[in-house]
C-alpha cells in the first residue's frame, strides 16, 4: 500500500495505474475505520483491480467546530487496517492540501438536500458535494463506493454524477451493523456504555415498525409514532427526525409501501446517529 499526502503524488500514482489499464475503485472516508468502511473496500475489490481509499475529515461538511474537533481520528490504526485489506493507494491529505484557500464555489441539489438530514444540517451536503467532486477529479475512478447507511448522501452523489456527466459508476453498498443491530459508525466511539445501550433502541424501533408494516399498518404517522415512542424510552435519546420516504425522491409518503425507506436521526447523549431500514415483505 502506497500512502500519498499531496495531490501531485496522488495523480502520479493514478496515471501510472491508468497507463497499466487498471480499473480504479475509490472509497472516500473520514477515517476511524470500521467494518462498514471495510465492506465498501471488499465490494470494490470484487470489481476493480486498483483500490484507492481516501481519509479526510472534511471541515466543510461539519456544522459545528465542536463536532469537527470531537470527530474520532486514529490514522495509524486506519493504516494498519487498510494494509490488511491490501489496498493499493491511500490518499491522506492535510486540510491545506484540499483547501489551500477558501473555495468560492457552492454546490447544491436543493430538491434532495432540503429533506431529512439536510434540514437540520445546513451546508452539510454542499460540503460533501464539494469534497467528493474534488476527490473524483483527483482520483478519476471508474467506480466509487458509498454506504447506504448514509442513504441521502449516496443519492445526492449519484445525482451529481448524472447531472455533471461524470464518467463514474456510483455504487451503493449495504448498511453494515454490529451483531447487536446498531449501525456501525465512527461516531459510536463517542458513546458511553449507557449511551450505547440506549442507541440500541434505534434499530430495535425500526424493526418493530417494519414488523407492524408487514402486519398491514400503512399509515406513516402511526409507524413514525411507534419509532419515536420506542427510541425515546431511552433516557439519553432525542429523536431529531423520523420520516418514511420514497427511496428515489426522498419525498415523505402518504402511504407506506414496499421499497419505501424509514430514515431516522437521533441524538444519543450529544452524538448524532442516523439509521434507516427498507420496507420489505420479508424480515
Ligand atoms: P464516513 O467515514 O462516515 O464518511 O463514511 C465513509 C463511507 O463509509 C460512506 O460511504 C458511508 O456511507 C460508509 N459507511 C459508514 N458506515 C457504514 C455502515 N455501517 N455500513 C455501510 N457503509 C457505511
Assign residue 230 the CATH number of its domain. Answer: 3.30.1300.10
181 lies in a domain? no
193 lies in a domain? yes
**Alpha carbon nearest to ligand 1 atom 11, residue:** 147
- Determine whether the shortest distance from the Cβ of 30 to ligand 1 is under 6 A: yes
- Determine whether the shortest distance from the Cβ of 170 to ligand 1 is under 6 A: no
Range of the domain at 256: 186-276
The reply to whether 152 and 194 lie within a common domain is no
The reply to whether 100 and 21 lie within a common domain is yes
The residue out of 173, 201, 231 marking a domain boundary is: 173
Mutate to test the pocket of ligand 1, among 121, 149, 154 (most ligand atoms within 8 A of CB): 149
Element (H, E) at 271: strand 271-278
Smallest CA-to-CA distance from 261 within 271, 272, 251 is with: 251
Tell me, rounded to whole angstroms, the distance of Cα 142 from its chain centroid. 20
Smallest CA-to-CA distance from 236 within 184, 188, 191 is with: 191
148 lies in a domain? yes
The reply to whether 102 and 237 lie within a common domain is no
Compute CA distances 263 → 15, 133, 233, 251, whole Å. 40, 25, 19, 12
Residue 26 in contact with residue 88, Cβ under 8 Å?
no
The reply to whether 88 and 193 lie within a common domain is no
The reply to whether 225 and 165 lie within a common domain is no
283 lies in a domain? no
Q: Residue 165 belongs to a domain with what CATH number?
A: 3.40.50.620
The reply to whether 137 and 259 lie within a common domain is no
The reply to whether 103 and 223 lie within a common domain is no
180 lies in a domain? no
The residue out of 124, 150, 173 marking a domain boundary is: 173
The reply to whether 250 and 208 lie within a common domain is yes
Residue 73: predicted pLDDT: 97
Would you write out the chain's pLDDT as a tens digit for each of its 283 residues?
999 999 999 999 999 999 999 999 999 999 999 999 999 999 999 999 999 999 999 999 999 999 999 999 999 999 999 999 999 999 999 999 999 999 999 999 999 999 999 999 999 999 999 999 999 999 999 999 999 999 999 999 999 999 999 999 999 999 999 999 999 999 999 999 999 999 999 999 999 999 999 999 999 999 999 999 999 999 999 999 999 999 999 999 999 999 999 999 999 999 999 999 999 996 5
Separation of CA 99 and ligand 1 centre (Å): 23
179 lies in a domain? no
β-bridge pairing 261-268 and 271-278: antiparallel
61 lies in a domain? yes
Residue 4 in contact with residue 88, Cβ under 8 Å?
no
Smallest CA-to-CA distance from 98 within 135, 142, 52 is with: 135
The reply to whether 80 and 155 lie within a common domain is yes
Q: How many domains does the chain have?
A: 2
The residue out of 129, 152, 173 marking a domain boundary is: 173
The reply to whether 108 and 247 lie within a common domain is no
The reply to whether 63 and 9 lie within a common domain is yes
199 lies in a domain? yes
Residue 204: predicted pLDDT: 98
- Exposure letters 93-104 (e unless 16+ CB within 10 A, then b): beeeebbeeeee
The reply to whether 92 and 133 lie within a common domain is yes
- Determine whether the shortest distance from the Cβ of 186 to ligand 1 is under 6 A: yes
Atom of ligand 1 nearest to the CA of 31: 2
- Determine whether the shortest distance from the Cβ of 40 to ligand 1 is under 6 A: yes
- Determine whether the shortest distance from the Cβ of 36 to ligand 1 is under 6 A: yes
Backbone torsion region of residue 140, taken as left when φ is above 0, otherwise alpha when ψ lies between -120 and 50, otherwise beta: left
Amino acid at each position: 500500500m502506497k500512502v500519498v499526502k499531496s495531490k501531485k503524488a496522488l495523480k502520479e500514482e493514478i496515471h501510472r495505474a491508468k497507463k497499466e489499464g487498471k480499473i480504479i475503485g475509490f472509497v472516500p472516508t473520514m477515517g476511524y475505520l470500521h467494518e462498514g468502511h471495510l465492506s465498501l473496500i471488499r465490494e470494490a475489490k470484487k470489481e476493480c483491480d486498483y483500490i484507492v481509499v481516501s481519509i479526510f475529515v472534511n471541515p466543510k461538511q461539519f456544522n459545528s467546530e465542536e463536532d469537527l474537533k470531537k470527530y474520532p481520528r486514529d490514522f495509524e490504526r486506519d493504516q494498519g487496517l487498510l494494509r490488511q485489506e491490501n489496498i493499493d493507494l491511500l490518499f491522506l491529505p492535510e486540510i491545506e492540501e484540499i483547501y489551500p484557500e477558501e473555495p468560492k464555489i457552492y454546490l447544491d441539489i436543493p430538491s434532495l438536500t432540503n429533506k431529512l438530514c439536510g434540514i437540520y444540517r445546513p451546508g452539510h451536503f454542499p460540503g460533501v458535494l464539494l469534497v467528493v467532486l474534488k476527490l473524483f477529479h483527483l482520483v478519476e475512478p471508474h467506480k466509487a463506493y458509498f454506504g447506504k447507511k448514509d442513504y441521502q448522501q449516496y443519492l445526492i452523489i449519484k445525482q451529481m454524477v448524472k447531472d455533471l456527466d461524470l464518467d463514474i459508476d456510483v455504487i451503493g453498498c449495504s448498511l453494515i451493523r454490529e451483531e447487536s443491530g446498531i449501525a456501525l459508525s465512527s461516531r459510536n466511539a463517542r458513546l458511553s456504555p449507557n449511551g450505547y445501550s440506549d442507541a440500541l433502541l434505534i434499530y430495535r424501533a425500526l424493526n418493530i415498525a417494519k414488523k407492524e408494516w408487514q402486519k398491514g399498518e400503512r399509515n406513516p404517522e402511526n409507524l413514525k409514532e411507534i419509532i419515536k415512542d420506542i427510541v425515546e424510552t431511552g433516557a439519553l435519546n432525542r429523536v431529531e427526525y423520523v420520516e418514511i420516504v420514497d427511496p428515489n425522491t426522498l419525498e415523505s409518503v402518504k402511504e407506506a409501501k414496499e421499497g419505501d425507506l424509514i430514515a431516522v436521526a437521533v441524538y444519543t447523549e450529544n452524538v448524532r446517529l442516523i439509521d434507516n431500514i427498507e420496507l420489505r415483505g420479508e424480515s
